[in-house]
Amino acid sequence: EQALAGFRFNTPSKAPAKAVAKSDSEASRPTFDELVWKEPAGTIQFSTERPQELVNEDRPNIGVHEFFTDGACSGNPGRCGWGFLMRTSSDYYEAFQFLGIGTNNIAELMAIKAALDHVPDPDAVILIHTDSNYSLGVITKDWKAKANVELVDTLRKQMRQYKKRPQIIKVKGHSGHPLNERADFLATSSILK
């Protein structure tokens, strides 16, 4: 079993967001999909400790921020959260966050958003690996988002803020790739902690 050594666990400063159903009389109230990405129920947990199984992995080139991202959901909708690991030529960072009640697609998109949130340098070269066809399609292939429209629009705008557009790379999920497996472990941990 993989460990969560080195993680700093924070107590949420507010009560978890609850699922809210929209009725005709409450049209202005946000849905649970909006709440879960705008007001996550948990705080971001993070670590800079590189897991032993990843110590010998090749590191990216200088100036590259490489991410492996994943979302997890128990039920769909259900308890959801994201996880990512970030590597540069010298640094390692991983994080996860419980979002609340939402969908798997929200969790996958939020993993990518969280990755972008952790690269403030507009000149950075960013590589984001995901096993989500949905995320890849709605962010980079101009698929029309039928749900999560505001989140998708936010991500598309966020992608444009970098001088070199971040690359989103499809990786096969659950195929034994150690970095993708670690992202999956982190995402799953977000809904278990």
Enzyme catalytic residues = 70-71, 108, 131, 174, 184
Question: Distance between CA atoms of 83 and 107, rounded to whole angstroms?
Answer: 9
Secondary structure (3-state) at 130: strand
Nearest to 149 by CA among 34, 70, 71: 34
Question: Distance between CA atoms of 84 and 184, rounded to whole angstroms?
Answer: 8
Question: Distance between CA atoms of 77 and 67, rounded to whole angstroms?
Answer: 26
Do 72 and 96 meet the contact criterion of CB atoms below 8 Å apart? no
Other beta carbons within 10 angstroms of residue 32's beta carbon come to: 19
